[in-house]
Amino acid sequence: MVDDSVSGFGRVVHVCVDVQSMFAEETPWHAPWLNKVLPAIEAIVDREPERTIFTRFVPPEYPEEAERAWVDYYRKWSQMTRSELAPGMVDLVPSLQRYVPPARVLDKPIYSPWLTGGLHHALTQAGVTTLVVSGGETDICVLATVLGAIDLGYRVLLPTDAVFGSADQTHDAALSLYRSRFGQQLTACTTAELLDNWDDFE
């Protein structure tokens, strides 16, 4: 859970989505592009670590602990339940763990970070208006994060070289969707452009 003690966040917060070992390592959910975009993600976090919230996608220990259609989902992906994953696979990749604290971690059992954990309430209390979204996957959990943020009224900054997927076709399609359909609420940019203009977003 993200608590309400988020003074000092400022108006811009970086939500780094699911950059975890189970996507970086050779698992059924391996995303090869993760390690390629990791330097860009690290550069964003390094700008102001205290403004970063890392989300972690946390599978149930067993499929039957999930809800409704998620039960069948995890029966298909039983290798990715916590009872079968190797220790540490749910953790952030090692190079990001060093930022916590001051960065915070929000665990979620679903794609979206908005339905559990009090994220929107905490950001609202802090006066946050703009979210930088990085991480993965571009067409799944990043998509859920971005659409939820837009629905809740946040301005979204998406550094396209700091997001990753596991399928090039749907990664590219998601980036096209962000640019073509959400231009009034989302700004696609590079990490360099984001960092060069960070103060302008305050």
pLDDT per residue over 136-185, tens digit each?
A: 999 999 999 999 999 999 999 999 999 999 999 999 999 999 999 998 99
The CATH number given to whatever domain includes residue 27 is 3.40.50.850
pLDDT per residue over 92-135, tens digit each?
A: 999 999 999 999 999 999 999 999 889 999 999 999 999 999 99
Q: Give domain status of residue 7, yes or no.
A: no
Q: Which letter does DSSP use for residue 45 in this model?
A: H
Q: Which letter does DSSP use for residue 37 in this model?
A: H
Q: Give domain status of residue 135, yes or no.
A: yes
CA–CA separation, 133 and 120 (whole Å): 14
Q: Give domain status of residue 127, yes or no.
A: yes
CA–CA separation, 181 and 179 (whole Å): 6
Number of folded domains in the chain?
A: 1
**Residue 136 belongs to what domain range?**
12-61+92-201
Q: Which two tokens stand for residue 86?
A: 């190797």
Q: Give domain status of residue 165, yes or no.
A: yes
Q: Give domain status of residue 171, yes or no.
A: yes
